[in-house]
Structure 1
Amino acid sequence: MKFVEQRYEKGFWLMSSLTALFVIFSLMLFLYNEYERDT
């Protein structure tokens, strides 16, 4: 049971980091587009 819990925790952290990366990437793209439009 502990092994399964550990695996679930790993998957949870993987999903969290992937979501965070996606959010940061989207934010960077948004800021880049705003910057490009201003110049």
Structure 2
Amino acid sequence: MILPTATFLASIISSAAIWPLLSGMLFWAARASDAFYRFLMV
């Protein structure tokens, strides 16, 4: 019973560590694309 609980906790911790990284990548990709579109508009 301990092993599934450990893997479950590990998956929760890994996903919790991955979410800020993904959101940060999406944020900077949106910033870069916005700056690129503004550069094309000028």
Q: What range is the shorter-chain TM-score in?
A: 0.5 to 0.7
- TM-score in terms of structure 1 length: 0.64
- The C-alpha deviation readout for 1:1-39, integer Å capped at 9, x for no partner, is xxx233222111100111222221111100001111112
Number of equivalences = 36
Q: Which runs of 4+ in 1 moved over 6 A?
A: none
Structure 1 unaligned segments of length 5 or more: list them. none
- TM-score in terms of structure 2 length: 0.62
How large is the RMSD of aligned CA atoms in angstroms? Answer: 1.3
Larger radius of gyration: 2
Structure 2 unaligned segments of length 5 or more: list them. 37-42
